Structure 1
Amino acid sequence: MAGDIVAPPSRKADGAYFTPEAVAATLVAWAVRGREDRLLDPSCGDGIFVAAHARSVGVERDAASACLARERAPSGEIHVGDFFAWAERTAERFDCAAGNPPFIRYQRFAGETRARALRVCRELGADFSGLTSSWAPFLVATASLLRPGGRMAFVVPAEIGHAPYAVPFLEFALARFSTVHLVAIREKLFPGLSEDCWLLFADGFGGATDEIRLSAVDRFVPSRDPPDAFERVDVREWRTAWSRRLRPYLMPRAARHAYRQVADSDAARRLGEVAAVGIGYVTGANDFFHLRPSQAARLGIPATFLHPAVRNGRSLAGPVLTDADVARWRAADEPYLLLRLPRVGALPRSVAAYLDGEAGRLARTAYKCRVRSPWHVVPDVAVPDYLLSYMSGERPSLARNDARCVATNSVHCVRLRDPGARERLEAWGSPFIDLSCELQGHPLGGGMLKLEPREAAQVVLPAHGQVHDLDRAAVREGLSAMRAWRHRAG
């Protein structure tokens, strides 16, 4: 990110969204303590940060944006090129740094720049996985260019509160700054983006701290300093009780206490203890492998080779998936029939004709089809005990699979390890389990909650009667807070 709210398409692909002037002014005003301070912006965009302080250096890989930065900040020093290459070359050290680094997800944060960034960070003691977004390596490399006692103030994505790839940066910051203060802002800093943003204030480079200061505010208010009110997050608790996630600290202390009392008890179970949670099958060509009843009849595909399938979470309308649900799909002529073919043996002429037809010739060119043999056999098709929605609005849906459907990777397949756990799963949708889903999952744009298989496996299933009356109010308050932070009412 760096530069106007609505970015040109090429900059948007680079994670470039220019910063509101009031946000830039706030960050620079805190980072700079004196007129002679030297400030660094590692991704200066159009120069809104470097223009706020005369003795500034900006690095920008986009030449057009760098030209704008020079016009906006004639007293600044603007370098065009890859920041990580520049950071390795420069001998200069800075009193402070401020900016809004690009939020480039790992799929596009690739090539030589990514390799250099990960190597530089690894040498500095921050070992990122290949799934990291670009902003975290930017901040590690920037911190390494500070003088002892230096400060840095940056816009960061709210993912810093829950993403595993953010942990190496946070651990790096805790080991190298005497103060690490995050300001979580519920109202969007960038109204045109689905991405929520927080602010980072790190002070005293060369020191260390055993706490994270976390301020939770409804909206950004310009100021020369971060908020005076903050929660002191004990790093040991953050690492152990909350698996290095800061999102739980957005809810009231009473809610955290009530949740931990249940989650840490011997009576509670994690979903992953009583069931295996995994993704459904991947066809590689969904439209080809899923047929409507009318299409199957017209093609003459025998029922032996067709199996009812759940293609997305919208099909999970209630706590039980029944034959009546499948009958409704059939009556609506929905494409719910998976073409499930055997690996060996002769196929009926009608099936062979469909495979060799125009749609089949196109489907077999898809990557997943090309790399398997035979291409038309969809692997990993199984009938799970339950089906769990992958992305959801109010709450993830869990449906008992009485209809014995199979499912695509748009939903999760839950297979019981312990049949005695069914009673716990019947409580799905209770406020406590809803809160556990909020804490283990993570928010997406548009108020959606995403629950990866590894996150779903950590959802806490309390024993019957384990959540007491006094705790229920605290749990509901915590649930309301977590939903509000992902822009979901209720």
Structure 2
Amino acid sequence: MYKRTPLARYGRKLNKRPLNRKEAGAYYTPPQVASSLLRWALRSERDRLLDPSCGDGQFIAGHPNAVGIEQDPYAARQAMDRAPGALVHEGDFFSWASNTSERFECAAGNPPFIRYQTFKGELRDRALAFCSRLGVRFSGLASSWAPFLVATAALLRRGGRMAFVVPAEIGHAPYSAPLLEYLLANFAVVHIVAIREKLFPELSEDCWLMYAEGHGASTNEIRFTALDAFSEMSAPPRQFQNIPADVWRTTWKRRLRPFLMTSEARLLYQEIVEHRGTHRFGELATIGIGYVTGANDFFHLRPSDAHQWRIPKDFLRPTVRKGASLRGDRLTTAVVDKWRKDDEQVLLLHIPKHERVPRAVERYLDTEAGQLAREAYKCRVREPWYSVPDVQVPDFFLSYMSGVQANLVVNEASCTCSNSVHGVHLKRKGGGATLLESWSTEFVKLSSEIEGHPLGGGMLKLEPREAKEIAIPSKSILQRISKPVVEDALSTLRKWRHYDSA
């Protein structure tokens, strides 16, 4: 049957009929993964086993002395049928965890993965309050699986252990750092096993394995193993890197993903970024998201629409709405002219706050589409509702989601941009040509991979805070860098995000 995967929606109310796999977020977990985790976690028939989100009972079915928690009533009934010897509680795990006096020798499973946008309300409040009492404070961007593991660890007996499938975000997401810090402070051994081949081929999300044992002790290192593919095992791999916690915290900013590269590549990268001739991108420029309209289809007009409504040219700004519009390393007026000729929706209606609104613009604002737009949240909370803020003309555009690499594009056409593209403003004029030349080098591409993060589907994502950390070495340094080492590291990180072609 199925087991909740990291993309399952936790706490979803069911209709009387069983939900299909897409509705329930339920996908088959490879049986060899579940059995591998259980064989390591269980040391005795007397061991009490906990699965905090047991789904249909796959992890608890093989051990009679087990407890599973499941909020989905239909899945809970399946778990009861599948694991008649286990105890299944139907309800919210964090409520149960806050009130139970039970303690466990081991825990295993696959916690639900709900991104912060939908991990909200009372469930989120209970989860974060539980973790806060343990001294673990997650940011507002935390997904659900990390609090699940903290709460589960707190229910273990001294010497207890846990083995879980976890999202690969444990290797790079800032919100995963509090979880790893908690594990380091409360377990004698923490071992992360990265697996490049997808455990769940149907999903874009990559999954790794997390092992921790010796609850009640602590450690100052993380064991880390990188495998191309999963094969059934009765224990974590014997070969691993010992990553000092201080190195993980400082040099690599609480990220494990750089350890997918060779030690030679890491040493080279560290040497280059610490060289006085190397600058971080944020030292050379400010990087931020573009404007947010709140109602894109209303505020972005086609040239034909602007002509029809007789919108004055002074209130229309040519704009880059999405990164896919950017080709090459320059956005020229010729390209924008072609957008206009093709009647694309690339004119932003920009009405400065204190500008008198012409009658033609008023008529457009009072249309049915305008009435709907002013009720959108972003429009409703600003004054006046029709004045889009933060409309700027950057020196460059930077794609924040890309395939082979992030594109840096000179803004020769004096366009503005929406929040689907980053705007880059040079701190010192005149350095654009050098920056653009450096950007095309293999080392800067590698730095983008290291400082950014995989998004799924082979995509690389660069948040503004990540883009600021991209290393830009001087030309003389770039000429001395070992190209084979850099090219191998770049290829490795692209393969791990499933973008295998250069």
Residues in 2 aligned to 1:82 and 1:124: alpha-carbon distance in whole angstroms? 19
In the alignment, residue 339 of structure 1 is paired with which amino acid?
A: L
CA-to-partner distance for each residue in 1:192-248, whole Å, 9 max, x for gaps?
111100001111111111111111111111110111221111211111111000000
2:462 aligned partner: 451
Say yes or no: does 1:137 pair with 2:147: yes
Larger displacement relative to structure 2 (473-482 or 249-258): 249-258
2:323 aligned partner: 313
CA-to-partner distance for each residue in 1:294-315, whole Å, 9 max, x for gaps?
2212221221211110001012
Say yes or no: does 1:280 pair with 2:290: yes
1:258 aligned partner: 268
CA-to-partner distance for each residue in 1:280-332, whole Å, 9 max, x for gaps?
01111111111111221222122121111000101221111111111111121
1:407 aligned partner: 417
1:35 aligned partner: 45
How much does 1:266 deviate?
1.4
**1:13-412 paired onto structure 2 within 5 Å:** 16-412=26-422
Larger displacement relative to structure 2 (169-178 or 368-377): 368-377
User: 2:4·2:112 contact (CA, 8 Å) conserved in 1?
Assistant: no
Give the paired residue count: 489
Larger displacement relative to structure 2 (414-423 or 54-63): 414-423
Residues in 2 aligned to 1:287 and 1:224: alpha-carbon distance in whole angstroms? 55
2:13 aligned partner: none
Could you say what secondary structure the match of 1:308 adopts?
strand
2:12 aligned partner: none
> TM-score normalised to the size of structure 1?
0.96
Larger displacement relative to structure 2 (148-157 or 122-131): 122-131
Residues in 2 aligned to 1:152 and 1:473: alpha-carbon distance in whole angstroms? 40
Distance 1:13 1:268, change over 3 A: farther
User: 2:4·2:111 contact (CA, 8 Å) conserved in 1?
Assistant: no
In the alignment, residue 273 of structure 1 is paired with which amino acid?
A: E
Distance 1:410 1:129, change over 3 A: same
Could you say what secondary structure the match of 2:188 adopts?
strand
Residues in 1 aligned to 2:154 and 2:352: alpha-carbon distance in whole angstroms? 58
Residues in 1 aligned to 2:355 and 2:413: alpha-carbon distance in whole angstroms? 28
How much does 1:393 deviate?
0.7
In the alignment, residue 446 of structure 1 is paired with which amino acid?
A: G
**Unaligned ranges ≥5, structure 1:** none
Residues in 2 aligned to 1:19 and 1:283: alpha-carbon distance in whole angstroms? 42
How much does 1:349 deviate?
2.5
CA-to-partner distance for each residue in 1:95-127, whole Å, 9 max, x for gaps?
111000111111222222211111111111211
How much does 1:389 deviate?
0.6
Could you say what secondary structure the match of 2:446 adopts?
helix
Residues in 2 aligned to 1:263 and 1:364: alpha-carbon distance in whole angstroms? 47
Residues in 2 aligned to 1:469 and 1:137: alpha-carbon distance in whole angstroms? 45
In the alignment, residue 90 of structure 2 is paired with which amino acid?
A: V
How much does 1:467 deviate?
2.8
In the alignment, residue 3 of structure 1 is paired with which amino acid?
A: K
User: 1:18·1:46 contact (CA, 8 Å) conserved in 2?
Assistant: no
User: 1:14·1:104 contact (CA, 8 Å) conserved in 2?
Assistant: no
**Which of residues 413, 424, 434 in structure 1 aligns to 2:445?**
434
What's the % identity of the aligned pairs?
A: 57
Could you say what secondary structure the match of 2:61 adopts?
helix
Could you say what secondary structure the match of 1:194 adopts?
coil
Residues in 2 aligned to 1:4 and 1:457: alpha-carbon distance in whole angstroms? 37
Could you say what secondary structure the match of 1:205 adopts?
coil
Distance 1:13 1:146, change over 3 A: farther
How much does 1:22 deviate?
1.4
**Which of residues 465, 487, 492 in structure 2 aligns to 1:476?**
487
User: 2:4·2:110 contact (CA, 8 Å) conserved in 1?
Assistant: no
In the alignment, residue 423 of structure 2 is paired with which amino acid?
A: C
CA-to-partner distance for each residue in 1:36-88, whole Å, 9 max, x for gaps?
11111111110010012221111111121111111111111111111111112
How much does 1:17 deviate?
4.0
How much does 1:468 deviate?
4.4
Distance 1:9 1:363, change over 3 A: farther
User: 2:4·2:55 contact (CA, 8 Å) conserved in 1?
Assistant: no
In the alignment, residue 435 of structure 1 is paired with which amino acid?
A: L
Larger displacement relative to structure 2 (417-426 or 255-264): 417-426
**Unaligned ranges ≥5, structure 2:** 9-17
Distance 1:353 1:86, change over 3 A: same
Residues in 2 aligned to 1:347 and 1:102: alpha-carbon distance in whole angstroms? 50
* CA RMSD between the two structures: 1.8
Larger displacement relative to structure 2 (449-458 or 469-478): 469-478
User: 1:263·1:460 contact (CA, 8 Å) conserved in 2?
Assistant: yes
> TM-score normalised to the size of structure 2?
0.94
